Protein backbone atom coordinates (compact mmCIF):
# COMPACT_ATOMS: atom_id res chain seq x y z
CA UNK A 1 0.00 0.00 0.00
CA UNK A 2 1.60 3.23 -1.14
CA UNK A 3 1.14 6.32 -3.26
CA UNK A 4 -2.04 8.28 -3.79
CA UNK A 5 -5.01 6.82 -1.94
CA UNK A 6 -8.47 8.30 -2.43
CA UNK A 7 -10.71 8.29 0.63
CA UNK A 8 -13.77 7.56 -1.46
CA UNK A 9 -17.28 8.82 -0.63
CA UNK A 10 -20.42 6.68 -0.57
CA UNK A 11 -23.39 7.51 -2.84
CA UNK A 12 -26.84 7.15 -1.29
CA UNK A 13 -30.36 6.47 -2.46
CA UNK A 14 -33.42 8.34 -1.21
CA UNK A 15 -33.60 6.05 1.83
CA UNK A 16 -29.97 6.56 2.83
CA UNK A 17 -28.74 3.20 1.53
CA UNK A 18 -25.51 2.91 -0.51
CA UNK A 19 -25.85 2.68 -4.30
CA UNK A 20 -23.69 -0.05 -5.83
CA UNK A 21 -23.17 0.87 -9.49
CA UNK A 22 -22.62 4.55 -8.75
CA UNK A 23 -20.09 3.70 -6.05
CA UNK A 24 -18.17 1.28 -8.25
CA UNK A 25 -18.10 3.71 -11.18
CA UNK A 26 -16.31 6.32 -9.12
CA UNK A 27 -13.91 3.81 -7.59
CA UNK A 28 -12.97 2.64 -11.07
CA UNK A 29 -12.55 6.24 -12.24
CA UNK A 30 -10.21 7.03 -9.32
CA UNK A 31 -8.05 3.98 -9.95
CA UNK A 32 -7.86 4.78 -13.66
CA UNK A 33 -7.04 8.45 -13.15
CA UNK A 34 -4.04 8.61 -10.87
CA UNK A 35 -4.95 6.82 -7.65
CA UNK A 36 -2.83 3.88 -6.56
CA UNK A 37 -5.37 2.63 -4.03
CA UNK A 38 -8.69 3.37 -2.34
CA UNK A 39 -9.70 3.88 1.27
CA UNK A 40 -13.23 2.51 1.54
CA UNK A 41 -15.51 3.65 4.38
CA UNK A 42 -13.36 6.24 6.03
CA UNK A 43 -14.54 9.65 7.19
CA UNK A 44 -15.25 10.73 3.61
CA UNK A 45 -17.27 7.55 3.12
CA UNK A 46 -19.54 8.56 6.04
CA UNK A 47 -18.74 5.21 7.64
CA UNK A 48 -19.68 6.25 11.15
CA UNK A 49 -23.14 7.27 9.94
CA UNK A 50 -23.76 3.88 8.31
CA UNK A 51 -24.90 0.73 10.08
CA UNK A 52 -22.83 -2.45 10.13
CA UNK A 53 -24.95 -4.16 7.47
CA UNK A 54 -24.50 -1.33 5.00
CA UNK A 55 -20.79 -1.12 5.77
CA UNK A 56 -20.34 -4.82 5.05
CA UNK A 57 -22.32 -4.42 1.85
CA UNK A 58 -20.07 -1.64 0.56
CA UNK A 59 -16.97 -3.56 1.64
CA UNK A 60 -18.12 -6.58 -0.35
CA UNK A 61 -18.88 -4.54 -3.48
CA UNK A 62 -15.37 -3.11 -3.55
CA UNK A 63 -13.64 -6.41 -2.75
CA UNK A 64 -15.52 -8.21 -5.52
CA UNK A 65 -14.85 -5.53 -8.13
CA UNK A 66 -11.21 -4.58 -7.50
CA UNK A 67 -7.84 -6.04 -6.60
CA UNK A 68 -7.89 -6.18 -2.76
CA UNK A 69 -4.22 -5.20 -2.68
CA UNK A 70 -5.38 -1.75 -3.84
CA UNK A 71 -7.96 -1.40 -1.06
CA UNK A 72 -8.02 -0.52 2.60
CA UNK A 73 -11.17 -0.25 4.67
CA UNK A 74 -12.18 1.63 7.80
CA UNK A 75 -13.31 -0.78 10.50
CA UNK A 76 -12.78 1.22 13.69
CA UNK A 77 -15.65 1.71 16.13
CA UNK A 78 -15.78 2.56 19.80
CA UNK A 79 -16.83 -1.02 20.55
CA UNK A 80 -14.00 -3.53 20.39
CA UNK A 81 -16.50 -6.28 19.52
CA UNK A 82 -17.90 -4.36 16.54
CA UNK A 83 -14.42 -3.39 15.38
CA UNK A 84 -13.41 -7.03 15.51
CA UNK A 85 -16.55 -8.07 13.62
CA UNK A 86 -15.89 -5.62 10.77
CA UNK A 87 -12.17 -6.36 10.67
CA UNK A 88 -12.72 -10.11 10.46
CA UNK A 89 -15.30 -9.55 7.73
CA UNK A 90 -12.79 -7.42 5.82
CA UNK A 91 -10.14 -10.12 6.08
CA UNK A 92 -12.60 -12.75 4.87
CA UNK A 93 -13.31 -10.57 1.82
CA UNK A 94 -9.62 -10.33 1.01
CA UNK A 95 -8.72 -6.91 2.37
CA UNK A 96 -5.12 -6.72 3.50
CA UNK A 97 -5.38 -3.49 5.48
CA UNK A 98 -7.94 -2.19 7.99
CA UNK A 99 -7.86 1.45 9.09
CA UNK A 100 -8.81 1.55 12.77
CA UNK A 101 -9.79 4.57 14.84
CA UNK A 102 -8.84 4.57 18.53
CA UNK A 103 -11.56 3.94 21.15
CA UNK A 104 -12.44 7.60 21.54
CA UNK A 105 -15.62 7.80 23.58
CA UNK A 106 -14.36 7.41 27.16
CA UNK A 107 -11.95 10.21 27.94
CA UNK A 108 -9.35 10.79 29.14
CA UNK A 109 -7.75 7.75 27.50
CA UNK A 110 -4.38 6.75 28.91
CA UNK A 111 -1.54 5.46 26.78
CA UNK A 112 -1.80 2.13 28.60
CA UNK A 113 -5.50 2.02 27.81
CA UNK A 114 -4.89 2.61 24.10
CA UNK A 115 -2.20 -0.06 23.98
CA UNK A 116 -4.46 -2.51 25.81
CA UNK A 117 -7.34 -1.88 23.36
CA UNK A 118 -5.25 -2.37 20.23
CA UNK A 119 -3.52 -5.41 21.74
CA UNK A 120 -6.92 -6.90 22.56
CA UNK A 121 -7.88 -6.45 18.90
CA UNK A 122 -4.66 -8.16 17.82
CA UNK A 123 -5.20 -11.10 20.18
CA UNK A 124 -8.78 -11.58 19.06
CA UNK A 125 -7.74 -11.52 15.40
CA UNK A 126 -5.18 -14.22 16.12
CA UNK A 127 -3.89 -15.68 12.87
CA UNK A 128 -6.31 -13.63 10.74
CA UNK A 129 -4.05 -12.15 8.05
CA UNK A 130 -4.95 -8.48 8.03
CA UNK A 131 -2.72 -5.51 8.83
CA UNK A 132 -3.92 -2.65 11.03
CA UNK A 133 -3.25 0.99 10.23
CA UNK A 134 -3.84 3.49 13.02
CA UNK A 135 -6.25 6.29 12.15
CA UNK A 136 -5.21 9.47 13.94
CA UNK A 137 -7.89 12.14 13.59
CA UNK A 138 -7.99 14.18 16.82
CA UNK A 139 -10.28 16.83 15.32
CA UNK A 140 -12.99 14.16 15.13
CA UNK A 141 -12.12 11.77 17.96
CA UNK A 142 -10.97 14.28 20.54
CA UNK A 143 -7.75 12.38 21.17
CA UNK A 144 -4.36 12.07 19.53
CA UNK A 145 -2.69 8.68 19.27
CA UNK A 146 0.66 9.36 20.94
CA UNK A 147 3.78 8.51 18.97
CA UNK A 148 4.91 6.39 21.92
CA UNK A 149 1.80 4.22 21.56
CA UNK A 150 2.32 3.78 17.84
CA UNK A 151 5.99 2.94 18.38
CA UNK A 152 5.29 0.44 21.14
CA UNK A 153 2.63 -1.45 19.20
CA UNK A 154 4.53 -1.39 15.90
CA UNK A 155 7.65 -2.76 17.56
CA UNK A 156 5.93 -5.47 19.63
CA UNK A 157 3.51 -6.53 16.86
CA UNK A 158 5.34 -5.60 13.64
CA UNK A 159 3.27 -7.83 11.36
CA UNK A 160 -0.04 -6.44 12.61
CA UNK A 161 0.49 -2.70 13.17
CA UNK A 162 2.14 -1.60 9.97
CA UNK A 163 0.91 1.88 9.08
CA UNK A 164 -0.96 5.04 10.01
CA UNK A 165 -3.20 7.60 8.38
CA UNK A 166 -2.67 10.92 10.10
CA UNK A 167 -5.49 13.41 9.60
CA UNK A 168 -4.28 15.85 12.25
CA UNK A 169 -2.49 17.98 9.67
CA UNK A 170 0.65 17.90 11.82
CA UNK A 171 3.49 16.93 9.50
CA UNK A 172 5.96 17.12 12.39
CA UNK A 173 4.04 14.23 13.98
CA UNK A 174 4.37 12.29 10.72
CA UNK A 175 8.06 13.08 10.47
CA UNK A 176 8.60 11.91 14.05
CA UNK A 177 6.95 8.58 13.29
CA UNK A 178 9.12 8.13 10.19
CA UNK A 179 12.20 8.88 12.28
CA UNK A 180 11.27 6.39 14.98
CA UNK A 181 9.79 3.72 12.73
CA UNK A 182 11.35 3.75 9.25
CA UNK A 183 9.35 0.67 8.21
CA UNK A 184 5.98 2.10 9.27
CA UNK A 185 3.86 3.27 6.33
CA UNK A 186 3.01 6.85 7.23
CA UNK A 187 0.26 8.52 5.19
CA UNK A 188 -0.49 12.22 5.77
CA UNK A 189 -4.05 13.15 4.88
CA UNK A 190 -3.13 16.01 2.54
CA UNK A 191 -1.79 15.59 -0.97
CA UNK A 192 0.27 18.75 -0.40
CA UNK A 193 2.67 16.53 1.57
CA UNK A 194 3.69 14.96 -1.74
CA UNK A 195 5.90 18.00 -2.35
CA UNK A 196 8.29 16.67 0.32
CA UNK A 197 9.25 13.89 -2.08
CA UNK A 198 10.53 10.39 -1.35
CA UNK A 199 13.21 11.71 0.97
CA UNK A 200 10.53 12.48 3.58
CA UNK A 201 9.86 8.79 4.03
CA UNK A 202 6.10 9.09 3.69
CA UNK A 203 4.25 6.23 2.01
CA UNK A 204 2.05 8.67 0.08
CA UNK A 205 -1.20 10.35 1.09
CA UNK A 206 -4.77 9.33 1.90
CA UNK A 207 -7.04 12.20 1.01
CA UNK A 208 -10.64 13.16 0.31
CA UNK A 209 -9.82 15.85 -2.23
CA UNK A 210 -7.81 13.53 -4.49
CA UNK A 211 -11.24 12.23 -5.55
CA UNK A 212 -11.24 15.43 -7.59
CA UNK A 213 -7.57 16.16 -8.27
CA UNK A 214 -6.16 12.63 -8.72
CA UNK A 215 -4.63 13.22 -12.17
CA UNK A 216 -2.75 16.29 -10.95
CA UNK A 217 -1.67 14.48 -7.77
CA UNK A 218 -0.23 11.65 -9.86
CA UNK A 219 1.88 14.21 -11.71
CA UNK A 220 3.02 15.71 -8.41
CA UNK A 221 3.96 12.29 -7.04
CA UNK A 222 6.21 11.76 -10.05
CA UNK A 223 7.66 15.29 -9.93
CA UNK A 224 7.45 16.70 -6.37
CA UNK A 225 9.52 19.75 -7.33
CA UNK A 226 7.02 20.92 -9.97
CA UNK A 227 5.88 24.14 -8.32
CA UNK A 228 3.15 24.84 -10.89
CA UNK A 229 1.45 21.51 -10.26
CA UNK A 230 2.04 21.76 -6.51
CA UNK A 231 0.39 25.17 -6.37
CA UNK A 232 -2.58 23.95 -8.38
CA UNK A 233 -3.04 20.88 -6.18
CA UNK A 234 -2.88 23.03 -3.04
CA UNK A 235 -5.31 25.57 -4.49
CA UNK A 236 -7.89 22.92 -5.41
CA UNK A 237 -7.66 21.38 -1.96
CA UNK A 238 -8.05 24.73 -0.21
CA UNK A 239 -10.97 25.79 -2.41
CA UNK A 240 -12.86 22.54 -1.77
CA UNK A 241 -12.07 22.58 1.95
CA UNK A 242 -13.55 26.08 2.21
CA UNK A 243 -16.90 24.24 2.20
CA UNK A 244 -18.10 21.31 4.35
CA UNK A 245 -15.65 18.75 3.02
CA UNK A 246 -17.71 15.58 2.60
CA UNK A 247 -20.73 17.24 0.92
CA UNK A 248 -18.36 19.25 -1.30
CA UNK A 249 -16.41 16.21 -2.46
CA UNK A 250 -19.65 14.31 -3.11
CA UNK A 251 -21.07 17.23 -5.08
CA UNK A 252 -18.01 17.42 -7.32
CA UNK A 253 -17.92 13.66 -7.86
CA UNK A 254 -21.61 13.82 -8.78
CA UNK A 255 -20.97 16.66 -11.19
CA UNK A 256 -18.31 14.62 -12.99
CA UNK A 257 -20.44 11.46 -13.05
CA UNK A 258 -23.73 13.25 -13.76
CA UNK A 259 -25.32 11.21 -10.97
CA UNK A 260 -27.69 12.69 -8.39
CA UNK A 261 -27.06 9.97 -5.80
CA UNK A 262 -23.83 11.77 -4.93
CA UNK A 263 -25.74 14.84 -3.78
CA UNK A 264 -27.29 12.99 -0.84
CA UNK A 265 -25.58 13.00 2.55
CA UNK A 266 -26.46 11.44 5.88
CA UNK A 267 -27.26 13.59 8.93
CA UNK A 268 -25.65 15.47 10.53
CA UNK A 269 -24.31 16.56 7.13
CA UNK A 270 -26.59 18.74 5.00
CA UNK A 271 -26.76 19.32 1.29
CA UNK A 272 -24.94 22.39 0.05
CA UNK A 273 -26.77 25.60 -0.75
CA UNK A 274 -26.80 27.20 -4.21
CA UNK A 275 -23.94 29.56 -3.41
CA UNK A 276 -21.65 26.72 -2.37
CA UNK A 277 -22.61 24.68 -5.42
CA UNK A 278 -21.84 27.65 -7.66
CA UNK A 279 -18.42 28.05 -6.07
CA UNK A 280 -17.67 24.35 -6.57
CA UNK A 281 -18.88 24.54 -10.17
CA UNK A 282 -16.22 27.14 -10.82
CA UNK A 283 -13.57 24.79 -9.40
CA UNK A 284 -14.78 21.96 -11.63
CA UNK A 285 -14.66 24.17 -14.72
CA UNK A 286 -10.93 24.70 -14.23
CA UNK A 287 -10.02 21.02 -14.02
Asked whether the beta carbons of 132 and 96 are under 8 A apart, the reply is: no
Residues in the chain, how many?
287
Average pLDDT (95-105) is 97
Distant-in-sequence, close-in-space partners of 172: CB < 8 Å, separation ≥ 6 = none
Confidence of residue 116 (pLDDT cuts 50, 70, 90): very high
Cα distance between residue 109 and residue 114, in whole Å: 7
pLDDT more than 90, % of the chain: 98
Sign (positive or negative) of CA dihedral 138, 229, 262, 73: negative
pTM of the model: 0.96
- 139 vs 225: CA distance, rounded Å: 30
| Residue 250 · residue 259 · CB < 8 Å | no
pLDDT digits (tens, 9 = 90+) for 156-197: 999 999 999 999 999 999 999 999 999 999 999 999 999 999
What is the C-alpha separation between 133 and 146, in angstroms, rounded? Answer: 14
Render pLDDT for 245-254 as a digit per residue (tens, 0 to 9): 999 999 999 9
| pLDDT for residue 135 | 98
| pLDDT at residue 287, as a whole number | 85
Contact 30, 8 (CB under 8 A): yes
Mean pLDDT rounded to a whole number for the chain = 97
With 0-12 CB in 10 A as exposed, 13-18 as middle and 19+ as buried, what is 124? middle
Helices then strands, counting H and E runs in the chain, come out as: 11, 8
pLDDT value at 151 more than 90: yes
Average pLDDT for 105-116? 96
**Is the separation of the CB atoms in 121 and 100 below 8 Å?**
yes
The secondary structure element, H or E, covering residue 162 is strand 161-166
Query: Quick one: which of 56, 54, 26 has its CA closest to 266?
Result: 54
pLDDT digits over 27-45, tens only? 999 999 999 999 999 999 9
Amino acid sequence: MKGIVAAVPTPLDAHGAPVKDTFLEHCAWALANGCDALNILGTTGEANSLGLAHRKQVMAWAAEAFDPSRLMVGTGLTSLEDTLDLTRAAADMGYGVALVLPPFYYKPVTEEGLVAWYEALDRALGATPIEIYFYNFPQMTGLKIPADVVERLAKTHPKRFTGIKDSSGDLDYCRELVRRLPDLKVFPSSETALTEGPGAGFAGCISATVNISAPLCARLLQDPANETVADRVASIRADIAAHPLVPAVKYLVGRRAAESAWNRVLPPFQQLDDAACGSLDRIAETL
